[in-house]
A and B are shown apart, each in its own frame.
Chain A
């Protein structure tokens, strides 16, 4: 009986797995309404489309191919669409922004790789293939982002970083509420996101849990990067060095003499062996040339 049950369970799991995988391959992205209606604060024109093309070539082209050429990478599943096609162009700007930002299955997330401005520029490039497209600009004023001030406050007791976001308007200080906010630590090969993406509360701040064991430099300093995204004030980035990491002093692998190092830091034994062998052969060859000179002299007599 048990074995029959087992087989049954296996079949059910298998069927669900297959169904689920089909589900995830479907065209349905389930984009939240407020994301779908989001608009770009960057005007889509020749200039931004051109900037977007450069970003596209570097990040998107290897899978999506050139728009209009139908040369996307067919071996991927699902096949990445040609972005000039109706399937893509019929979506709202907000949809495209959401898709680029979050990614799914084989489509990677560009949330950390590309800034918001870069993502909109890519969309400007994609839209340049749609003649009938008319842009609706967002009411966000990018110039207002300069007014925003970010303040970090580290609480050593509970290892939390509180991030305040305030705008110094002429009328007084405005707290940024419901602004999307991300915290990163700079690492060797890019930014490491700390905690989740949070939104500021009604008092204009968010609390991030900071890990207790993150290595810093020799004195424990860590470069913190805060990325705030507000409906009205746009995208704001703030960098600050905080002494909250574990002091770490690991000499770099290229500091000492080694096989893999530069010529000036070559191991002594290689330098000695190589040069002495060259010297030896050169001396012998010079000696031989000298004997030939002697030989000629003898003949001269």
Chain B
């Protein structure tokens, strides 16, 4: 048995972050201010329509859609860490499950809004449902993303219930309404075996359910592209290609979050170098799989060089998108893999830098997937101004693209201020087991 003082130390360490301090307020003020600026940009889009963007007849999917794919991708990490690693009994990942789940929930919930920002007439959103066609991957996407948000929310909430009770009991200095909030959410938790069994079983069911749903959300997102005949999208491996790409960006997001929580929330004893080491290895694994899919994705059409594909591949490899393409592949994938093979690089700070490269690379990779294809339609583009042919995002468009990213940061910040970011009860239980 763990002695009481040790338990108290763990509890106070992990609940330490739940308080209002200056750094939190400055950070939130910064986020809210920048968010307001982006909202202003969105208001100009509402007034003037998509004319304020660089989108046109030919490139009608630009950075909004690239952003959407990135969001859905990053949210997939919740499934990998809390479900796949959890079910396979990888105990080291347990302290990271909540971080992953918060990232998953925030990104998946905001992904829907990203799509709305791509609509020139968002008041017609309801038509998507009124005139829904069950045959359309767009409807499937809406359906599975909604499911994933619901399951992720439950998967975040269920293991949180014991901790909510601890929050209510131990955090005596916080305002009463907040304590009541914890009390209501903790559903009369008393730590009985019966209750523990319910949580354990339900979490297990959800963890199993989320695996196919998570695979579905990103496979269906890939089908939005792959179910067309367009060059660069007309691929049978787009589903797995997207899913593995998603794990890459998700792992990077979790590593970045781990670094900040570890330093700012003083959790060095709980998020240890061992966790970084393991996450580094995981990132190498998923990146290698992704690299393999990349090879397939370009090698096969590149070998055959069908007319349409040839234009597209030339443009990516040596044309106007070459700089971005090779930067993404080399700095966002190949070099991170090589560096992370060394144990010295799997330390918190180097991993933060590498993860930032991977995450930025992942975002631009989505751009490389969406935009060049739109610039290469099968019918020749004739007699149009240059800005119809070559897509350049406008400032307004870029600000509107930033908005959901800031919103995700706000959601993650609030959630990790309200709830202990490392499971308290679980950490104590694990220690007791190992003793």
Contacts and interface: CB of A to CB of B under 8 A. Distances in A.
Interface of A: 73, 75-76, 259-263, 266-267, 270-271, 274, 278, 281, 284-285, 287-288, 291-292, 294-296, 298-300
Interface in B174-212: 187-190, 192, 194-195, 198-199, 201-202, 205-206, 209
Contacts of A262: 133
A281 B154 contact: no
A263 B188 contact: no
A270 B187 contact: no
Given A266-B135, A271-B134, A288-B206, A299 B195 contact: yes
Nearest to A285: B150
B132 interface: yes
A292 B187 contact: yes
Contact of A285 (B151, B199, B383): B151
Contacts of B161: 295
Given A278-B143, A284-B209, 18 more contacts: A75-B382, A76-B383, A260-B135, A263-B132, A263-B133, A266-B135, A267-B135, A274-B134, A278-B147, A285-B154, A288-B154, A291-B202, A295-B189, A295-B198, A298-B188, A298-B194, A299-B187, A299-B188
Contacts of B199: 295
A288 B190 contact: no
Contacts of A296: 187-188
B132 A298 contact: no
A260 B132 CA distance: 13
Contacts of B135: 259-261, 263, 266-267, 270
A281 B189 contact: no
Nearest to A299: B188
Interface of B: 131-135, 140, 143, 147, 150-151, 154, 158, 161, 187-190, 192, 194-195, 198-199, 201-202, 205-206, 209, 213, 382-383
Contacts of A287: 205
A106 to B, nearest CB: 11
Contacts of A298: 188, 190, 192, 194-195, 198
Nearest to B190: A299
A95 B205 CA distance: 81
B198 A281 contact: no
A299 B199 CA distance: 13
Contacts of A261: 135
Contacts of A295: 161, 187-189, 195, 198-199
B198 A270 contact: no
A266 B192 contact: no
A274 B135 CA distance: 9
20 contacts: A75-B382, A75-B383, A262-B133, A263-B135, A266-B133, A266-B134, A266-B135, A278-B147, A281-B213, A288-B205, A291-B201, A291-B202, A292-B202, A295-B188, A295-B198, A296-B187, A298-B194, A299-B187, A299-B190, A299-B195
Contacts of B150: 285
A291 B131 CA distance: 36
| Max chain A C-beta neighbours (<10 A), residue from B132, B133, B189, B192 | B133
A73 B198 contact: no
Nearest to B192: A298
Contacts of A73: 383
A295 B154 CA distance: 14
Given A76-B383, A274-B134, A281 B202 contact: no
B205 A284 contact: yes
Contacts of A259: 135
A135 to B, nearest CB: 34
Nearest to A282: B147
A270 B134 contact: yes
A210 to B, nearest CB: 35
A261 B134 CA distance: 10
A281 B147 contact: yes
A53 B426 CA distance: 76
Contacts of A76: 383
Given A73-B383, A274-B140, A285-B150, A300 B133 contact: no
A295 B199 CA distance: 8
Which of A270, A287, A294, A299 has most B Cβ within 10 Å? A299
A295 B147 CA distance: 23
A84 B271 CA distance: 77
B201 to A, nearest CB: 7
A87 B206 CA distance: 77
A263 B209 contact: no
Contact of B188 (A75, A271, A284, A300): A300
A261 B136 CA distance: 10
A298 B154 CA distance: 20
A269 B213 CA distance: 19
A289 to B, nearest CB: 8
A285 B152 CA distance: 11
A283 B158 CA distance: 17
A282 to B, nearest CB: 9
Contacts of B209: 281, 284
A271 B134 CA distance: 7
Contacts of B143: 274, 278
Interface hub of B140, B199, B202 (most chain A Cβ within 10 A):
B202
Contacts of B194: 298
A292 to B, nearest CB: 6
B186 to A, nearest CB: 8
Q: Which of A261, A278, A281 has the most CB of B within 10 A?
A: A281
Given A285-B154, A298-B194, A298-B195, A263 B187 contact: no
A288 B134 contact: no
Given A263-B133, A278-B143, A281-B147, A288 B202 contact: yes
Nearest to A74: B383
